Structure 1
Amino acid sequence: MTRDAGGPVAAGAEHNEEAMTSDTPTAFALRGTIVDCGPAAGPRVGDEALRVTEDGALIIDNGRIVARGPAGEILREDSAHLPVHDYRDCLLIPGLIDSHIHYPQTDIIASYGEHLLAWLERYTFPAEAAFADADLARETADFFLAELFRNGTTTAMVMGTSHARSADIIFEAARREGMRLVAGKVMMDRNCPEAIQDTAESGYRESRELLERWHGVDRLAYAITPRFAPTSSEAQLEATARLAREFPDAYVHTHLAENRKEVAWVGELFPEARSYLDVYDRYGLVRERSMYAHCIYLDDTDRRRMAEAGAAVAFSPTSNTFLGSGLLDYRATREAGIRTGLATDVGGGCSFSMLRTASEAYKVSCLNDTPLSATSLLHLATRGSAEAMDIGDRVGHLDPGMEADVVVLDPAATPLTARRSARATLEETLFALFFLGDDRHVAATFVGGRNAHPERGPAP
């Protein structure tokens, strides 16, 4: 199969072969304690299963996992010629998957809070207006991806700005890295500064051009991206619905029911709708491959509708607590049958680390009387996010045939975690890493079989 720097070419993408390079990853093995989650037994929290192979090995060839098992069985004579990256003191986990993040908000991370709508006006909109400068967008995209890899994130669903070029730039950067990434140009034609407004017509046209240019190329996919209902007129939502009908395999990516004032505003703007979700549903945007960030203020009718339509939730605990928006009822969401992923939501979220974001998910779940185990947290950040993004057959666990997105976690990277894990069980160590771990604990990040974090791991 023809490859770029680490990602398989999707069907129909052959016209982009000029970007392919000859640095196809060679076959090699990773040795360490393999830790991932199997299929959940059901929709309830706690139905997840942890799979552990101590002193295990993964054989990676052409960007995919081709074998998994105990090292003594996998590293046999017929694989003795392979280079082995020995991480026997570390955990080999699936690449972490961020189901909702804004790359143009990188430089406003940890800006003094206020509530959501004021935060958008004071920080977000000015930051996004600056992305009219393609050089700024390009430099930010490169930094953004490096920061993801530093923290072990190998797949992300990303919002750009209303500038079509911002979507091109993040796709170009991700393609160079061989990363699996979903992204899109933000659409908003009202209730925002003129500098970042599009129109119903231009939003449709530019989104369609981007979709035709990028969707299905290598490991990339396009998301039709109305920012949220208040910033799209009925005409723009109609245009968005038209795109969704024309490209049923594209994603829809937006925000839903994050903040009480936002929900009330939607009620004023769309008085005919039963609920915030119903606004989107009236335009055919509640469907398979629809990713809705936040979803805090939903009722049982909304949850049933999302589940039956196959729409997904991006659980964003860090930004929800930082902006005082509220607490997602994760148990109710899961038990309704809604696929749910974990999201940093940078820059409302204050960390690129999915480890730290998982720790916030635990705290939110405790406040809702449903504390999450280490297994549940790992599932949420890997296989659960992959299933929410409809890519669970490609990433999210470490079985043979999967794309080789693998993160090496070092429990002894700091004196405190070394001490904490010295006498702990594996699950206790994993749980502690969610709370004490950060980029220092990511020893290597393999993206499509290529090490994208070379300052810590083996050379790419």
Structure 2
Amino acid sequence: MSLQGFRGEILSLSNDPAEGCDAVRHDADGLLVVEHGRIVARGSHADLSLRFPGLAVERLEGLIVPGFIDAHVHYPQLDCIASHGEQLLDWLERHIFPAEQAFADPAHAGAVAGAFLDELLRHGTTSALVFGTVHAGSVDAFFEAAQARELRMICGKVLMDLGPDGLRDTADSGAAESKALIARWHRRERLGYAVTPRFALTSSDAQLESAGQLLADHPTVLLHTHLAENTREIAEVAARFPQAADYLDAYDRFGLVTERSVFAHGVHLPDRSCARLAESGAGVAVCPSSNLFLGSGMFDFAQAERHGVRLGLGSDIGAGTSLSLLHNAGIAYQAGLFKGYRLDPFRALWLATGGSARLLHIDGDVGMLAEGQEADFVVLDDKATPLLARRTARATLEERLFALQVLGDDRAVRRTYVMGQCAWDRDGLRCAA
């Protein structure tokens, strides 16, 4: 494929602004030069147009940002979004476990996977760390759909030998199926695997030990699970693991806390856990809309920042209320402010892009619109609604970005590009199959 040029206003973050560095990279009239799906040059249009004479350039109206990266989401729960009336454990029993049993049918899994990935593209999300179900076929179906769309996705079969009837494996079968899935899919094109115990209460000690062994045997896969989401859950984990210092320690005893571990939620973490997360290099996928919807609590950004804990942003569908990471960034600001933390809009964008990429160990490829990275990006429209247009008129870049996070959602996503190809166009049909 010949060189492609994309001209417009470009914004990304090269690092976490909380680390005190000048992380904002903004080209008011910028140019991305893409070859074979990767960015070969980025900078001002005035400068780069001289380096690439004759380059065919597509003018994009809006704010170009990296494709959003969802650090924690459940594709099988797409049809359970907006399920009423329960906190975490009862919500799982009433709504989620019955729905996930249907994923024993590969055709059903494939249909939901396709719908889910198309929804991600519509919301500007181009990469994600995704739960399957206990059925190995649910992961096959997801990866097949992701591969067809050339998306960078990480997924894993759920391990839960203490799960309910119809959603229960064994320590041996879970390990065997996980090994087969790793061999079949991990690092195949843009795909990656995550060892995925659902949470501490749904796996026996033998299964948690086998999960640790899977990580040791496959050092490039991730660990993906839940941590300290809900007070009742935490109390039950403490009763199940009386020798553990805290919830995180229950995982640590089985070798599950490493630099490649991603823990969703972390709403109620003691300082000891935060220190251990920082020491190990593990991190937390913050899921603000889910935490509010289930009444779980509000993440403590200040505590995590004091300890230097790695963070990303997740939608956690179906407990989350929107696949839009713009929307979730706005909810994160509100949740942080409740505890006295003012989440900067540039840091919120970092969490939804480069921060999640770093947490998922894919920051060499995506998340910053840097030279050498894959050309996954989103074109945002800060005039998508009449109210947004009023609020952003004559606003600064920071004010526009914050307005997009507080007032924006999928309507603000004008286009989504994957590897330099348009995969979603709000004003027309999907650009690519």
CA offset digits 1:394-445 (Å, max 9, x no partner):
1111121111111101112222212221111111111100111111211111
2:32 paired residue number:
58
Q: Within 5 A, what are the aligned runs for 1:253-332?
A: 253-332=224-303
Please state if 1:93 is matched with 2:65: yes
- For residues 233 and 247 of structure 2, what CA distance do their matches in structure 1 show? 9
**Deviation for aligned residue 1:76:** 3.0
1:427 paired residue number:
398
1:158 paired residue number:
130
Please state if 1:396 is matched with 2:367: yes
2:6 paired residue number:
30
**Deviation for aligned residue 1:79:** 3.7
2:322 paired residue number:
351
TM-score (normalizing by structure 2)? 0.96
What is the DSSP-based 3-state SS (H/G/I as helix, E as strand, rest coil) of the residue aligned with 1:141?
A: helix
CA offset digits 1:223-266 (Å, max 9, x no partner):
00000000000111111111111111110000001000000001
What is the DSSP-based 3-state SS (H/G/I as helix, E as strand, rest coil) of the residue aligned with 2:206?
A: helix
- For residues 193 and 391 of structure 1, what CA distance do their matches in structure 2 show? 34
**Deviation for aligned residue 1:41:** 5.9
CA offset digits 1:19-59 (Å, max 9, x no partner):
xxxxxx6531111111111223654xx75632211111111
Q: Is the 8 A contact 2:15 2:23 kept in 1?
A: yes
Q: Is the 8 A contact 1:40 1:48 kept in 2?
A: no
1:74 paired residue number:
48
TM-score (normalizing by structure 1)? 0.91
CA offset digits 1:366-393 (Å, max 9, x no partner):
0110111211111111111111112222
Q: Is the 8 A contact 1:214 1:221 kept in 2?
A: yes
Please state if 1:199 is matched with 2:177: no
- For residues 255 and 224 of structure 1, what CA distance do their matches in structure 2 show? 12
**Deviation for aligned residue 1:176:** 1.1
**Deviation for aligned residue 1:451:** 1.4
Q: Is the 8 A contact 2:49 2:55 kept in 1?
A: no
1:147 paired residue number:
119
1:20 paired residue number:
none
- For residues 334 and 403 of structure 1, what CA distance do their matches in structure 2 show? 29
2:413 paired residue number:
442
Please state if 1:231 is matched with 2:202: yes
- For residues 454 and 38 of structure 1, what CA distance do their matches in structure 2 show? 27
What is the DSSP-based 3-state SS (H/G/I as helix, E as strand, rest coil) of the residue aligned with 2:400?
A: helix
CA offset digits 1:1-29 (Å, max 9, x no partner):
xxxxxxxxxxxxxxxxxxxxxxxx65311
- For residues 324 and 15 of structure 2, what CA distance do their matches in structure 1 show? 24
1:8 paired residue number:
none
Please state if 1:212 is matched with 2:183: yes
**Deviation for aligned residue 1:70:** 1.2
Q: Is the 8 A contact 1:342 1:381 kept in 2?
A: yes
Candidates 23, 27, 47, aligned match of 1:49: 23
Candidates 373, 380, 389, aligned match of 1:418: 389
- For residues 158 and 40 of structure 1, what CA distance do their matches in structure 2 show? 23
- For residues 254 and 96 of structure 1, what CA distance do their matches in structure 2 show? 21
Letter matched to residue 28 of structure 2: E
Q: Is the 8 A contact 2:313 2:352 kept in 1?
A: yes
- For residues 407 and 273 of structure 2, what CA distance do their matches in structure 1 show? 36
Q: Is the 8 A contact 1:48 1:375 kept in 2?
A: no
What is the DSSP-based 3-state SS (H/G/I as helix, E as strand, rest coil) of the residue aligned with 1:216?
A: coil
What is the DSSP-based 3-state SS (H/G/I as helix, E as strand, rest coil) of the residue aligned with 2:242?
A: coil
Please state if 1:451 is matched with 2:427: no
Letter matched to residue 276 of structure 1: Y
Letter matched to residue 325 of structure 1: S
Which range moved further: 236-245 or 341-350?
Answer: 236-245
What is the DSSP-based 3-state SS (H/G/I as helix, E as strand, rest coil) of the residue aligned with 1:382?
A: helix
Letter matched to residue 138 of structure 1: G
Structure 2 unpaired stretches of 5+: none
Letter matched to residue 178 of structure 1: E
Letter matched to residue 174 of structure 1: A
**Deviation for aligned residue 1:113:** 3.5
What is the DSSP-based 3-state SS (H/G/I as helix, E as strand, rest coil) of the residue aligned with 1:156?
A: strand
Candidates 149, 168, 188, aligned match of 1:177: 149
What is the DSSP-based 3-state SS (H/G/I as helix, E as strand, rest coil) of the residue aligned with 1:75?
A: helix
What is the DSSP-based 3-state SS (H/G/I as helix, E as strand, rest coil) of the residue aligned with 2:90?
A: helix
Letter matched to residue 62 of structure 2: C
Count how many residue pairs are aligned between Structure 1 and Structure 2.
431
Q: Is the 8 A contact 2:160 2:170 kept in 1?
A: yes
- For residues 241 and 104 of structure 1, what CA distance do their matches in structure 2 show? 25
What is the DSSP-based 3-state SS (H/G/I as helix, E as strand, rest coil) of the residue aligned with 1:182?
A: strand
2:140 paired residue number:
168
Structure 1 unpaired stretches of 5+: 1-24
Compute the RMSD of aligned alpha carbons: 1.5
- For residues 359 and 76 of structure 2, what CA distance do their matches in structure 1 show? 23
